[in-house]
Structure 1
């Protein structure tokens, strides 16, 4: 059944069947695992940045009521748990997370390449990825037959071939979890379903270190307790708007929202949700999702960023400190990409986000690896004085047109809100 053709008045769970077998591999408390010491495991712990803000929370700490919304600062969390372990976020946190993610991808890939045909792998974020093993399950059924594929204990599932296919997929999931643990010592969880939306819901239900299968025949049961924020795409502001507008809390509640009313709901940015997006949202409430698993091995962008909290800079001081800091981090990241992924960036964008939310961009086009491998040359390519950044050309040997600045600094010192420095498109 195509997602766009669902009649929400008559849709039932048995008709929402999909022959696909899709896994979502999701790392458990990823940032905590990467930065913690081994002896700290099992205790309540949080990751704290240099400003004292909590960036990640362990499951043990969450059980005590500690989370980034209710207790954004470490001092707030310590009031709840005096024995809370504070893990200091390292300065090269983004590099460490990328390196950990790379090791995880290698572990997953080693399992997938042993299957014939190899499943489709889609990188989603540093700590999660989708895997479509439908073709592999199909080939196993064709090669050995259904009776030989199914364990004797499962043969009483009469007319439940899709459920059995999902259960067989859990064997692949178990191999992936085991391989990741052996290669990195990190725990992970896997959700298995007939589409990406269901697999994502399953991956979060029984963390940590679990495999959760959500079969079509069980959609009615789990829809009653899956929270709105557990549905893909509704974990942020959009989900909050829908919950507040319609008073819904669960996936089952969302099914009772009329399509027309949802489409005309005004979102946080002042726009309507619209008919098409409302259709997608209600489809997911019924366990339907047409999104394909697209083969993507790595992220298409590499970003080095850093947060500043209330620091005030003059023009020259600001540019000098920012460029020195981010050129070092950027070069380290690019060496990692070249060494591990054998790829070089094609576009460089330098962005500064200020308290007034104005953006200042400098863009270098067709930047090649050997041209941005020199720290001094990169810094010199950005000219600046006390009032503005001056566009400058690179030397003729560099295959770069020019650096363009689309805005100027104000004359007075500016309080920096945040900086996302060098972002590359591959």
Structure 2
């Protein structure tokens, strides 16, 4: 039997800010937009703010109405990446199979490191204590026999806790939970399942697959297998690079995007990041995926064929704008991501078009920009439109933690 941990650092952004500014530990705190300009959304909050009704993702002005004493600080992503790296180094003391899921979450495979499930729970407790003692933040850890249930376990007890879900917990603890507790099920799928009488993970596990397929399509088999506890995907060794199937970047915004023009700088920023990583890997892409998450944390994903393979940011951005124009319903957007797939190498032959010469010139221009950025820093040269908001800055080589699961979950 496998022994898998899912380690999820609690209220991560807020916890790191309190680590660097200890006086914030005793006040209601939110990490978010510019407090002086009184705009933006809550990216994270501490327990004091949570107790006063502050919610992640809500506009800051609403949070201040609930909690006039709320202290708001801007995000410091360099700090978060530093603590995240240190946490992963601690996990590596116990296993060489550590798989980051996001900046504050990682799976750890103890199967080859412990001789029993009970020993795995003991190791999880040791990791929990070590994270708190050495880093000054807390972590919730789920222990189970697959990755899906390990993540589910890390959500059941927060903060600073270990939850064990052995096979014997399947019917007694896991099956009575809402389907939403499973990693790949979002609010849209939850509503679909409820319409056919599926209200628990157990209902999902025992539903006829033909019924599920008519409702969920190709994901029906996968989700039902997960509900049954059948997840066997091997975990990579730390630092091991699996074959690249997609490249993407995403960002949670300091303030919601509420009108079409607001998308322009962030779309160009993300597409430039993705295109730079394509060129660095000597790849081109044929399909673009756009992921949007609104202020209510509901996600959607749409995709578009790019025609001839490309690694040029302008082509990617135009495809994004077409998807936004066609599919965005006007709901305020909290997070946005761009991912490309169906990758091929630069050296591979492809069908030329009448625009190929212009495409080649644009690619050469962007390679020159890459060279400048690698020598002097990513933001040494930038499109003017991306400089409209100084908070919309990410480094494609440092902040590319977008996981394909985000896009899968958006579909569901």
Instruction: Provide TM-score, normalisation by structure 2.
Output: 0.61
Matched, 1:49 2:33: yes
Give the CA deviation at 1:293.
Answer: 1.9
Matched, 1:357 2:307: no
Could you tell me which of 88, 97, 116 is aligned with 1:105?
A: 88
For 1:376 and 1:189, the matched residues in 2 are separated by 36
For 1:378 and 1:31, the matched residues in 2 are separated by 23
For 2:382 and 2:22, the matched residues in 1 are separated by 44
Find the counterpart in structure 1 of residue 6 from structure 2: 24
**Structure 1 pair 64–289 and aligned structure 2 pair: CA distance change class (3 A):** farther
Paired residues in the alignment total: 314
3-state SS of the aligned residue for 1:134? coil
For 1:304 and 1:285, the matched residues in 2 are separated by 29
Give the CA deviation at 1:379.
Answer: 6.6
**Structure 1 pair 313–220 and aligned structure 2 pair: CA distance change class (3 A):** closer
**Structure 1 pair 186–259 and aligned structure 2 pair: CA distance change class (3 A):** same
Find the counterpart in structure 1 of residue 64 from structure 2: 78
**Structure 1 pair 65–228 and aligned structure 2 pair: CA distance change class (3 A):** farther
Give the CA deviation at 1:356.
Answer: 6.9
What is the CA RMSD across the aligned residues, in angstroms?
Answer: 4.6
Matched, 1:202 2:153: yes
Deviations for 1:186-211, whole angstroms, at most 9, x for unmatched residues? 10011111111111111111111111
For 2:166 and 2:267, the matched residues in 1 are separated by 51
Larger Rg: 1
Q: Which residues in structure 2 correspond to 1:367-382 (within 5 Å)?
A: 372-375=373-376
Find the counterpart in structure 1 of residue 125 from structure 2: 174
Give the CA deviation at 1:287.
Answer: 2.4
Instruction: Flag structure 2 segments of 5+ consecutive residues without an equivalent.
Output: 283-310, 326-337, 339-358, 402-412
Q: Which residues in structure 2 correspond to 1:193-342 (within 5 Å)?
A: 193-235=144-186, 237-243=188-194, 245-265=195-215, 272-274=216-218, 277-297=219-239, 303=249, 307=253, 309=257
Deviations for 1:329-351, whole angstroms, at most 9, x for unmatched residues? 98xxx9xxxxxxxxx95468646
Give the CA deviation at 1:371.
Answer: 5.0
**Structure 1 pair 167–370 and aligned structure 2 pair: CA distance change class (3 A):** same
Instruction: Provide TM-score, normalisation by structure 1.
Output: 0.60
Instruction: Flag structure 1 segments of 5+ consecutive residues without an equivalent.
Output: 1-18, 113-117, 139-164, 266-271, 335-343, 387-414
3-state SS of the aligned residue for 2:31? strand
For 1:192 and 1:262, the matched residues in 2 are separated by 29
Could you tell me which of 83, 88, 113 is aligned with 2:73?
A: 88
Deviations for 1:242-276, whole angstroms, at most 9, x for unmatched residues? 34x335443233334332121111xxxxxx522xx
3-state SS of the aligned residue for 2:159? coil
Matched, 1:67 2:50: no
Give the CA deviation at 1:61.
Answer: 3.8
3-state SS of the aligned residue for 2:71? strand
Could you tell me which of 79, 100, 110 is aligned with 1:123?
A: 100
